[in-house]
Amino acid sequence: AQTVTQSQPEMSVQEAETVTLSCTYDTSESNYYLFWYKQPPSRQMILVIRQEAYKQQNATENRFSVNFQKAAKSFSLKISDSQLGDTAMYFCAFMKQNTDKLIFGTGTRLQVFP
């Protein structure tokens, strides 16, 4: 069975600084997808970024980028130029290819301070 681990329950960062959220996963699959979701206080789940396991290039979306280390089964999220609106819970998630079942980590609460 696949598992997703987020070892940082809480993180904080000052506005305009950079922060990295950690995620590791365990799977015997070779083809899969990895995601970072953001859940602000409004509760809405928002997809931040997605990585296909077969792609070696790390995904980027504006200020958000990932460091995908397939051999190490590591998938960290880097947020550059942090903004107050980035304050939220961040969930790492895994999906095996040919399925639509998302498996979530326990989340990291990120607080951005002015």
Partner 1 sequence: DTAVSQTPKYLVTQMGNDKSIKCEQNLGHDTMYWYKQDSKKFLKIMFSYNNKELIINETVPNRFSPKSPDKAHLNLHINSLELGDSAVYFCASSSLGLPIYNEQFFGPGTRLTVL
How many Å apart are CA 71 and CA 104, to the nearest integer? Answer: 20
Which tokens is 57 given?
A: 């290039």
Q: How far is the CB of 104 from partner 1 (least distance, A)?
A: 4
By C-beta, is 2 or 80 nearer to partner 1? 2
Return the amino acid letter for 67: N
Give the footprint of partner 1 on this chain (CB under 8 A). 33, 39, 42-47, 50, 52, 89, 91, 95, 97-104, 106-107
User: For residues 11 and 103, which CB has a smaller minimum distance to partner 1 in the complex?
Assistant: 103
Nearer to partner 1, 45 or 84 (CB): 45
**Could you tell me the CA-to-CA distances from 40 to 85, 96, 111 in Å, in that order?**
8, 26, 10
* Minimum gap (Å) between residue 37 Cβ and partner 1: 8
Non-local (6+) Cβ contacts of 86 within 8 A are: 38, 79, 110, 112
Please, what is the minimum distance in Å from the beta carbon of residue 86 to partner 1? Answer: 17
Least distance to partner 1, CB of residue 107, Å: 5
CA neighbor of 86 nearest in space, from 67, 61, 103 = 61
